[in-house]
Amino acid sequence: MSPDELLALASSVAERSGKGEEIEVACSAGESTSVRVYGGKLESLTIASSQAIGVRVLVEGREGFASAGTLDPDSVEAVLSEARDNARFAEADRFMGIAQPDGVEAVDVDLWSDEVLSTSNEDKIAIAIEAEQRVRDADSRITGVRVSAYGDSAGSFALASTAGIRACTSATFASLSIQALAQDDGARTQTGFASDGARKPSDLDLDAVSKRAVSQTLDLLGASQPKTATVDLVLDPRLAATVLGLIAGTLTGDRILKGRSPFVDRVGEQVASPLLSFLDDPTDPKSLGADAYDGEGLACRAVPLVEQGVLQGYLHDSYTGRRSGHGSTGSAVRGTRGLPSPGLHAMAVRPGSGTLDELIGQVDKGVLVFSLAGLHSGVNPVSGDFSVGIEGRMIRNGRLAEPIAECTVASTLQRLLLDVAAVGGEVSHLPMGVSTPPVVIGGVSLSGA
């Protein structure tokens, strides 16, 4: 379905609203390809097309939602009537309602490349095979590649509502990921992972991905359990994005209004090291989280969150914006099949200075982190308790030392922000939509033997 057809479908459903009824309709459709190779050969090639519709109905502050993975007339009919029926049973909230246009002009960000659709499947398979081959050939200690995968998607999202919102965006995305395996003298197997994402296949950095997968794997060979200690953590951009993204994810209006964040009522306070500033900026076209509209069809905009360590505000969708009195920050995130809620689109950490190597050079006793494990079970976004498994290399007197595994680091989300000891100067735009330089966090508990 073309973007125009999607928007026309969404509008036609929204226009069926009855008296006193607000309706918001989201529709999406797209194509995707997924390639996995193994041993120099195609393991699987998935050719997919998908579509979805999600309908929100509001009657006097009562909300009902329904969705379907098909756009045929029967499904659309069923979804509208289920959403209406669901609204009968929800309880009213005077702040609940669909987004009202707020006059903010959407920034024109180009998220589309024809190359995703014009590249042949053979060429897509060749990318994954080439990446696998480079990793296998890099070093004799590489024993295999668990997966070398290429994936892409090209799709459109349309949103129409009884408030007059008509929004439509199209985006493409391509990704490459590799997990390598290595073994040394019958020792235990280590793995290393690397990935890249871009708007089009030719922007994928095959060389960097394969080199990183190799080095992360080989550098862990012979890893042992370290002694329990207090260390500085050096996070490269990918890991900095993971940790800071988790923390920024607690700065959402729903968590704040419901008392489920350690950062409730703390705007204007020094919640982080003065070295740290970050915002959510979907208007930056370089970010892979860039977007013109949020999940309720309002224009995306830059939202300051932490400036030199001082908390500036929270991320709001239209509901939390109304309830808090601040208005929406255009931060609604959603899939077509789910309800909108406030969240990060394109977190951006302001660069400081220094390369990753220079940051390592400034650390007396620390760990250069390769991977974090158990983020979903080891981080409590309400209490802030943080305890996760890590693998990486010890740093002693500014130099990389032995590899370590089977250990955890523990702190709280609150402490991690305050303990930021350095912010690097080189920003990476990561596949998950976060743009950040490397970051050093001081004084974290490392648990091992």
Structure tokens belonging to residue 259 = 């008392």
* 416-434 burial: b if 16+ Cβ within 10 Å, else e: bbbbbbbbbeebebbbebb
What CA–CA distance (Å, rounded) separates 60 from 305? 33
Closer to other proteins by CB, 359 or 379: give it: 379
Q: Which amino acid is at 438?
A: P
Nearest distance, CB of residue 204 and other proteins, angstroms: 19
Q: How far is the CB of 3 from other proteins (least distance, A)?
A: 19
Q: Is 55 helix (H, G, I), strand (E, B) or coil?
A: strand
Q: Which is nearer to other proteins, 13 or 106 (CB)?
A: 13
Minimal distance, residue 56 CB to other proteins, in Å: 9
Shortest spacing between CB 266 and other proteins, in angstroms: 11
- How far apart CA 385 and CA 212 sit, in angstroms, is 31
Closest distance between other proteins and the C-beta of residue 277, in Å? Answer: 25
What is the closest distance, in whole angstroms, from the C-beta atom of residue 65 to other proteins in the complex? Answer: 4
The Cα-based distances of 146 to 45, 179, 197, 376 in angstroms read: 16, 6, 19, 23
Q: Which is nearer to other proteins, 5 or 82 (CB)?
A: 82
How do strand 428-429 and strand 347-349 relate by DSSP bridges? unpaired
Q: CA torsion angle for 251, 257, 259, 265 (degrees, to 10)?
A: 70
Shorter beta-carbon distance to other proteins: residue 353 or 383:
383
Minimum CB–partner distance for residue 89 and other proteins (Å): 5
- Quick one: 349 or 372, whose CB is closer to other proteins? 372
Query: In the complex with other proteins, which residue's Cβ is closer, 19 or 376?
Result: 376
Q: Which CB sits closer to other proteins, 175 or 287?
A: 175
> Which runs of E-coded beta strand occur in 224-266?
229-235
Give me the DSSP letters along 337-395.
TS--EE--SSEEEPP-S--HHHHHHT-SEEEEEEEEE-HHHHB-TTT-EEEEEEEEEEE
